[in-house]
Structure 1
């Protein structure tokens, strides 16, 4: 019995006293075959189709902020988070996206860059955005306070949303698997079926969460202009 249930998200992997956990963040590049870059194949066309769909959607969301290549950062973030979410489903691979260290490192710099760009280049729009149209004068100070707080917690909500969703499924699968020792054969078969269904659900969550964090970041960037 493990002493801490959350220890599954921080395994002690080291070589020559060097922690190798975070190297798993770059394992996604190793899973892409060289033929993907050199020869047109089904994987290339499928991935290219997904990226083109994302590019068209991000271009619409960015509105006036769109310029050539501006969607590349969001497509790269989607690919990076998607690879790490899927890698966390494999046994004995460190789940980097279940840690706030990584998710905050993605959301906080993006949010800060949006805020600096908006307040430096378009501060009138940023002030107007704090007070919705038609707000009574007596409520304006409260609306400014509420909008400021909601704006400040955005990077935290992005990071916590990704981390919590990745942790929840992994914890549920771990709790169910730890109960299989005392089960009979019939219940073990039922448990295996349940775990397979949860694994399929977690695969869907891995795609959805990478899409959600990218879409929200795109929406936040479109609000600064």
Structure 2
């Protein structure tokens, strides 16, 4: 029985590893085609499109920065620490109007909507730019380490795997338990016989395997 349980546990674990690797591959594919930076850029466009005043544009970008980074901090509740995204706002004359305090005097380097790589405070970041007629917003997103991605995937999968394990084990345990009953009955018969009892051993004819065991036992009496 212990071997059966171990086999089922191993099968569930291997299935979990396969699903985790598939999710990881899908994540890498998604990041290669379109990142969260580009999604964020599409939200920024309507927010700034109707703004003509520099101070209002700064206020809007700061509000967006606050909302984005608040959602990233919430990821810590899932055991995943995400550093904040960094923002810079430029006007149509390439004048810097706002920069995240963490950047200091560093300028984000971007080339339109094309994702570029840039080191900030020694850490790798992905930088994208959203252009409007009056404004240009550059956003730097910390590059997520592969270990952090896998940690997030495992955290998502683990509850489902823990739930699936007893569901998979229960029918197998019941089947094995039911299958062992005739063998236990035969074992009880053998233990109850006296050494001088030479009567033929009987077995439940519904179980061909046990009938063969009983016939072999009776043949040596």
TM-score category of the 2 structures, normalised to the smaller one:
under 0.3
TM-score normalised to the size of structure 1?
0.27
| Greater relative contact order, per chain length (Cα 8 Å cut-off, separation 6+) | 1
Q: Which has the higher helix share?
A: 1
Q: Of the two, which has the highest radius of gyration?
A: 2
TM-score normalised to the size of structure 2?
0.28
